[in-house]
Each structure stands twice: as C-alpha cells, then as structure tokens.
Amino acid sequence: MELFNQSSFSRFILLGLSSIPYLEVIGFLAFLLMYLITLLTNLLLIIVVRINPKLQTPMYFFLTNLSFIDICFSTTVVPKILINTFKKDKSISLLECAVQMHFHLTLGSTECFILAVMAYDRFAAICRPLHYNTIMSTKVCISLAAASWTLSFMNSIIHVIYTFQMSFCHPHVNHFFCEVPPFIKISCSDTWLHEVAMYISAGIIASLSFFLTLISYIHILSTIFKISSSEGRYRALSTCGSHIIVVTVYYGTIMILYLRPHSHSSSDIDKSVSLLYSAVTPMVNPIIYSVRNQDVQGTIRRNLVKEIKSKIFLEKHY
C-alpha cells in the first residue's frame, strides 16, 4: 500500500448523481430495482445452462462467463451507490476506492474480450461448421477465458497504481463511483502520460476487441448471404442477433468514455455513459440473450412446470 500513500488525500468524497432529495430517492429505487433484476436474471441464466446438458456448448460457456461478469460488474458499483444515497458521509477510503476501481476495470476489460471471443465462436460455428469442435474445443475455450481474465487483471493493476500515484487538487470526485476519468480531472499532476497510456490501453482492449468482432461478423454475413434458403439465413442470423445488440451498446459506451479527449468531456455525460454500461447493460444482457433463445426459454418452462406439478402433488397427498 506504499504505492498509494503518495496521494494527497486518504479519503475521497463521491458527489453522486444528484444532490436533490427527491431525485436521490428515485435514483435509489431505480438502482435497487436494476440491481435485483441483474442478480436474478443473470443467476437464472447461469442455472439454466448448468441444468440443461444440451447447453453445455462453447457459446453457453462464454455466456455464463458474461453473466458472472455482469453480476460482479454491477456489484462493484451499485451497492455503494445505494449506501451513499442516504448517508451524510459520502466519503470513500483510498483503499476501498482503489479496490473498486481495480475490479471495475478488470471486469469491464474482461467483458470486452469475452464479447470478442463470443463473436469468434459464432464465426467458427457458421463459417467453419465441420471444424467447429476442433476450433472451439474445451481446452481452447478455457484458455481463451483464462487469457481474457489474466490480461484484464494485469491491465487494471497498472492503471490503478498509476492513478493513485498522482496528486489531487481536492478530494471531491464528481462521480458516483471510483473510475479513472474523473480522477484525472481533479489531478494537480501532469496527466498527459497517464491519458496517453489510458488511450493506448482502451484502444488495444476496446477497439481491437471491437474490430475483431467486426471482422468475425463480416465473414459471418458473407457466409449467411450464400445460404440459398431464406429459412436457413434467418436461423443463422438469429444466433447472432442478440450478440450484435450487446456488442453495439457495450463497445459504444466504453469507447465514448475512454477514447474521447477528456479536455472536452462533460461530467454529466460521463456519469450517464458510466451508468449505462455499469448498471443498465448488466441488467439487459441476460434478457437480450434469453428473449429469442428457444433453448433457454424451453428449459425455464419445463423446470417451472415440473416445479408447479411437484407442488400440486405434495398439496394433494399431504
């Protein structure tokens, strides 16, 4: 922790989304609802994949990774927002702030990698169906997931240490959680090198992941358009539609926040973008992936019907 002690302050004050009382109450209820939905839907998706042997495939392996990331992603941010809503003391210790920033960066970067890997999985399934089991073997899937987590963890540590090596003009952070951009704004140090490092990091992680995803989908669409039957084209597209929506929303918000010049940024816009990818996206991801997924819906319905029948049986006989 000696690395962090060079900071000017031992505690920081998170200003939050709003200081107007009735808006704080509305915000609290909205965040609480989003958090509960995030936990329930992502846990349900993980359980569904675990109990259905037909879903033990690479695509669902990465989907459960994504659900786990979304649960943790939301948990690093939302509980602190809920606690701070009605607290007079909205401060956060340097250590707690550093830990929150570290996990937030790690999970955000890992989600970028996992989304890119999921696009590669769809490419292998649609463009190389005869070699799919070899390309996306269990060993390859585990290696890709492990690499995503490891690279993200290392990248996050570097940025967190570098951030808290800076000195700060004041402890008031115009944000609702500890994130790198608002700390750059309150720094009294020369942040040029840190900003360049952040742009390079975000460029490599977000932009590279996005372009790998884009290349995968160019090949996928090229293959789909060669399918003669309209039913076959629709079936192939339906396996990619949910992923395209999630990728567009997530990569778009990440690149707006981390690749935009901070000298021209707005705190209100930054907070809105952070809110979108930190709280809203983890909530809607499992919903998007489940709405048109017949395998997931079928598993839920079958187990729900089974549970209802079991309760009726027990009520009749006991």
DSSP code of residue 186: T
What does the chain come to in residues? 318
For 157, residues 6+ apart whose C-beta sits below 8 A from its C-beta are 102
Q: What pLDDT was estimated at residue 148?
A: 93
pLDDT beneath 50: ranges in the chain: 1-7, 313
**Residue 189, helix vs strand vs coil:** coil
Angle between helices 208-224 and 94-127 (to 10 degrees): 20
CA-wise closest residue to 47 among 240, 296, 307, 298? 296
Domain ranges of the chain: 11-290
Which CATH homologous superfamily contains domain 11-290? Rhodopsin 7-helix transmembrane proteins (1.20.1070.10)
Q: What pLDDT was estimated at residue 296?
A: 73
CB 119 within 8 A of CB 248: no
Give per-residue pLDDT as tens, 217-260.
888 888 887 777 777 677 666 667 777 778 777 777 777 766 66
Rounded percentage of the chain residues whose pLDDT exceeds 90: 23
How far apart (Å, rounded) are the C-alpha atoms in residues 159 and 102? 8
CB 297 within 8 A of CB 290: yes
Query: Which two three-digit tokens encode residue 81?
Result: 């927002």
What's the one-letter identity of residue 274?
S
Q: What pLDDT was estimated at residue 260?
A: 65
Give per-residue pLDDT as tens, 1-11.
444 444 467 88
